[in-house]
Amino acid sequence: MSGKLGIHSLVFTDDWSPAAAEASCRAAAEIGFELIEVLLFDPAALDIPLTRRVAREAGLELRLGMALGPDTDIASNDPEVARRGEASVARCLEIAAELEAPAVSGITYAAFANYAAPATTAQRAQVAASLARLDRRAGELGVRLGLEPVNRYESYLVNTLDEAADLIRASGGSNLFIHMDTFHMNIEEGDIAAAIHRNAALLGYAHVADSNRGLLGGGHFDVLGYCRALESAGYRGDLTVEAFSSNMLGDGLVGGVRLWREAWQDSLVAAKAAYDVVRVARESARAGCTVW
């Protein structure tokens, strides 16, 4: 694994005002992280010059995440909603190019929502066609688009690495990749190492989160085993810590991810602990990996 170690800005705060953004980037860099991921809640609301400045001043690279909502759902049966969703992803790709970030990834294929019925064959075909157009736009801009499989309570279209790979193949895209998230993999994958190896050629980014989505190392997810699987599969992408504490987030996010408990009081302590967990696991995997 030769990728960079990163941290999600939500470990520190969901406030991206100048003071908060500067403090988050400065803290991440001082701990030793090489990149910070910023979530595009609303593409129109992101302060692009601020984001560029605070990352550069801290010496960090940028990664961008996003999640479509019910009013921007590419899988929607309402053509206008689906159109808005595709336009939203396209705008995020443009922002990535403006910020010289290599990609946008996340729930880029349907809404972040709890659905009552499975997606239809027609909806899957609709999303594949939309992703094909977005893939072409990404290529024009020189960036990539990632699909993050999430658990069944947060989406109905892509819950596993295999499903993400199937959708990428159906779209025919050459600028699409799978964005792994260990919190969701812990729920949905029957054999995480096997899923990694089956889809190794499409893996491009990873969120490292524990089973309880809180302090990394505070749950039961096997971070070392995960890093060993990545190492043996030849993964060369980035590893970004994603962890949440309810006292660091606003009500909208807390309710969206059902985050009812405070995982920590001090984000600096939590971020440093997470950095140590991932760094040690990655170095151990490099040193002692056996053939899978």
Residue 184, Cα to own-chain centre: how many angstroms? 11
- Which of 37, 61, 148, 154 is catalytic? The answer is 148
Collapsed DSSP state (helix, strand, coil) of residue 189: coil
Full pLDDT tens readout for the chain, 292 residues: 679 999 999 999 888 999 999 999 999 999 999 999 999 989 999 999 999 999 999 999 999 999 999 999 999 999 999 999 999 999 999 999 999 999 999 999 999 988 888 999 999 999 999 999 999 999 999 999 999 999 999 999 999 999 999 999 999 999 999 999 999 999 999 999 999 999 999 999 999 999 888 888 888 999 999 999 999 999 999 999 998 876 666 666 655 666 666 766 788 999 999 999 999 999 999 898 554 4
22 is catalytic: no
Label residues 43-82 b or e (16+ Cβ within 10 Å = b): beebeeeebeebbeebebbbbbbbbbbeebbbbbeeeebb
DSSP state of 181: E
242 is catalytic: yes
Q: What does the alpha-carbon distance between residue 231 and residue 252 come to, in Å, rounded to a whole number?
A: 37
pLDDT given at position 265: 74
pTM, two decimals, is 0.94
- Which of 61, 86, 188, 242 is catalytic? The answer is 242
Long-range contacts from 17-23, C-beta under 8 angstroms, 24+ separation: 18/47, 18/50, 18/54, 21/50, 21/51, 21/54, 22/54, 22/57, 22/58
